[in-house]
Structure 1
């Protein structure tokens, strides 16, 4: 008895997990009233057919016109009851009787949800159905019309600023330091950098982007030499023998200073000076050497690796990041600043093109349509599974009531049609029974 299984009681039975409740729309009250009205009409026709049937059978001899009335009411009752049973069997057990193949939706809601999901995926979420619909929607033009309004431009800029501010708040200095120290620097050290440096140097020289730097260096060199004449005097004095007279050193210094300043001035003032051309040739040769496996490339790699391993590199990156973060946050918070104004101006230009450039709008619509069509084609089953997953999460009884609320009003027309058609069929059958014996 010690090992007897404990019987379940209210205390040890866990309550069932609550099912997700269905949402209620404001229009549901109107739908419910429409459903009740149509039910009353369909039921009223059934009651009317029954009353006519009783009256004709109790108070007439069922001959002549009364025969037609009696048979029409009888057939109308049969049609009304049959269609009532069919409609009711979709949502519940008629009269509470658990007749086979009734309460179809509560019992089969998961299967119906899966079938509906597959139907939507196969017939609707396809590229050839989605893409044309999106092309007709003219998304680009409509978006341009929305973006043309200044208040909407301000909304876009504000939302973008809030997103950037959100990112900046969540990226701290420790994370940047860790990425720099543990990821960025090791990756740069392990990368073969000299070919990249060689190609970069070659592009700079061929584009002439270094000429301004050369102009700056030569110009500053000329100013410095002109302002420091004693430098050349000291060099000459140090290199000259002790027995050379002082006046001779001064003569040489003055002459050398004049020649050096003149040569530097020529380099400064002549864009195609031989010295500049020689520098360009040397830089191009250096670039070729860096792109190849040469000793210069190896030495450059070593120098760059030593520089990258210095602790100051990490600190420099952190300082740059701090400055950049301050600038970005300042630009984001200053809604009347130049950055916001420029972005709004750019949005206005984009909106104008989206509205007025027909070819551009058509091209963008086509790209959007093709992209959406491809996505629908690729992820159609996953998207459509929202239907089956949602229906599977519904309570069976509540789901049935909800579906009936949406489609039950139209289904009542089946009962009305069944009553009317039944009456007509009853008339035809009674007429045939009267005609056949006379043939």
Structure 2
């Protein structure tokens, strides 16, 4: 049988074996002494009545010592090598001992309440915080994580996970009602009339259009087409263009110079109506949803996502192999900051510890039957001789003292019986 027992002998086992041999020798010597005294007392019984008491003590002590020697030896082997029934108890019951040991550990050491109480004594969050707060450890962790990232990204591509994630993101975007979100964003943007900056940009663009020669030529051609031929003969188009450009430029300058211009208030009202329609108008909501669906359905979006994925993966591949990796540096900083923040926040540590206790106790509860089976299988697979030796080394020394106790108790019982015999039966 292949032994799965611990390696033997260890330094501790050598010391235990030496102590066991010493106690065995003393117990055997004491037993031999009792036998010798008994024999001598038999020979010199007539010398003195006291000899009878000593002989009674020695006789009973020898009997007690022999009985206890038999009991101790019978636990581990057959006494004198004789196959006496109900001896070599431990080797003969290896399977039962293994099963009972596994069940005992499962029932008493892996019960839910003791496990939870023991786990609650450990501050797991503090251990994590101290570990992460050490910059060298966090740096090592960041190196490990950075090395894994390219493999993780490659695995995502090979398993189709990237496409799955893109589809999940798209599905979630389709469920979002964009009109109220857009309304909230615009309302935030228009806070304290910040949208007037946009209006100023629009006015600036219009002013640039009016001063652009190509735009002026296009406007002149449009005016010429709308005027009668006779008006064009008198160059009315040039006059009208000049008036339009002058009036437009004057209006733009007035708007730029006056923060309280009516056109600005009109723009305020337009933006407010648009925000209100986004929030409450079904028509605007339908238009926003249609725009969203059209945008998500465009093939350019998938192309953009694919290109973005390739860029991210390429950057990570290059950065991980660089001597001065930005990714590793940032990860190290993040881990250290997490450790320090965790050390300063008792509430988070308490919540984390509760989570650790629940998770670990649940794991132990789900696996304790496996632990019991594992212990039982390991003990059953041990070599019988080695199993016996391991048990005897650990408890044999204490068992040898039973022999001393047996001789002492037997001797006292012998004296008591001899006294009764002398006083009442002789």
TM-score interval, normalised by the smaller of the two chains:
0.7 to 0.9
Give the alignment's Cα RMSD to 1 decimal.
4.3
Give per-residue Cα distances to partners, 1:258-306, cap 9 Å, x unaligned. Answer: 5457658889999x95535643653564466799994653553243123
Structure 1: segments with no counterpart, 5+ residues: 1-15
Contact 1:74 1:426 survives alignment (8 Å):
yes
Give per-residue Cα distances to partners, 1:370-420, cap 9 Å, x unaligned. Answer: 554454445433344442233233222212211222222222222222222
Structure-2-length-normalised TM-score? 0.77
Deviation at 1:157, TM superposition (A): 0.4
- Which piece of structure 1 moves more, 76-85 or 240-249? 240-249
2:309 maps to 1:317: yes
Give per-residue Cα distances to partners, 1:199-227, cap 9 Å, x unaligned. Answer: 64355346559999967755654555555
Deviation at 1:164, TM superposition (A): 0.6
Deviation at 1:249, TM superposition (A): 0.7
Give per-residue Cα distances to partners, 1:139-197, cap 9 Å, x unaligned. Answer: 259638x828x9x7124303421331242242244743763664234445566705354
Choose which of 29, 32, 36 in structure 2 pairs with 1:44. Answer: 29
Give per-residue Cα distances to partners, 1:302-355, cap 9 Å, x unaligned. Answer: 4312347743432222223433565677799569956534543442343345xx
In structure 1, what is the equivalent of residue 4 of structure 2?
Answer: 20
- Which piece of structure 1 moves more, 242-251 or 365-374? 365-374
Contact 2:98 2:379 survives alignment (8 Å):
yes
Deviation at 1:423, TM superposition (A): 1.6
Contact 1:46 1:77 survives alignment (8 Å):
yes
- Which piece of structure 1 moves more, 248-257 or 176-185? 176-185
Choose which of 222, 237, 243 in structure 2 pairs with 1:239. Answer: 222
2:409 maps to 1:421: yes
Contact 1:68 1:427 survives alignment (8 Å):
yes
In structure 2, what is the equivalent of residue 193 of structure 1?
Answer: 174
2:115 maps to 1:123: no
In structure 1, what is the equivalent of residue 137 of structure 2?
Answer: 156
Contact 2:98 2:375 survives alignment (8 Å):
yes
Choose which of 9, 14, 30 in structure 2 pairs with 1:29. Answer: 14
Question: How do 1:159-174 residues align onto structure 2 when only pairs under 5 Å count?
Answer: 159-173=140-154
Output the CA distance in 1 between the equivalents of 2:68 and 2:387.
22
Change (3 A) 1:368 1:141: closer
In our comparison, the structure showing a higher alpha carbon Rg is 2
Deviation at 1:239, TM superposition (A): 3.4
Change (3 A) 1:20 1:140: closer
In structure 2, what is the equivalent of residue 147 of structure 1?
Answer: 130
2:160 maps to 1:179: yes
Deviation at 1:367, TM superposition (A): 5.5
Contact 1:196 1:291 survives alignment (8 Å):
no
Output the CA distance in 2 between the equivalents of 1:102 and 1:268.
110
Counting matched residue pairs gives: 413
In structure 1, what is the equivalent of residue 229 of structure 2?
Answer: none
Change (3 A) 1:26 1:58: same
Output the CA distance in 1 between the equivalents of 2:297 and 2:327.
43
Structure-1-length-normalised TM-score? 0.75
Contact 1:92 1:103 survives alignment (8 Å):
yes
In structure 2, what is the equivalent of residue 66 of structure 1?
Answer: 51
In structure 2, what is the equivalent of residue 390 of structure 1?
Answer: 378
Change (3 A) 1:114 1:340: same
In structure 2, what is the equivalent of residue 4 of structure 1?
Answer: none
Choose which of 73, 90, 100 in structure 1 pairs with 2:75. Answer: 90
Deviation at 1:99, TM superposition (A): 2.1
- Which piece of structure 1 moves more, 281-290 or 24-33? 281-290
Output the CA distance in 1 between the equivalents of 2:257 and 2:161.
45
Contact 2:76 2:392 survives alignment (8 Å):
yes
Structure 2: segments with no counterpart, 5+ residues: 226-231
Output the CA distance in 2 between the equivalents of 1:337 and 1:192.
33
Question: How do 1:37-436 residues align onto structure 2 when only pairs under 5 Å count?
Answer: 37-61=22-46, 64-135=49-120, 137=121, 139=123, 143=127, 147=130, 153-173=134-154, 175-176=156-157, 179=160, 182-188=163-169, 193-198=174-179, 200-201=181-182, 204-205=185-186, 208=189, 221=202, 224-225=205-206, 229-230=211-212, 233-234=216-217, 236-242=219-225, 243=232, 244-259=236-251, 275=267, 278-279=270-271, 281-283=273-275, 285-286=277-278, 294=286, 297-298=289-290, 300-307=292-299, 310-323=302-315, 333=325, 337=329, 340-341=332-333, 343-353=335-345, 368-369=356-357, 372-436=360-424
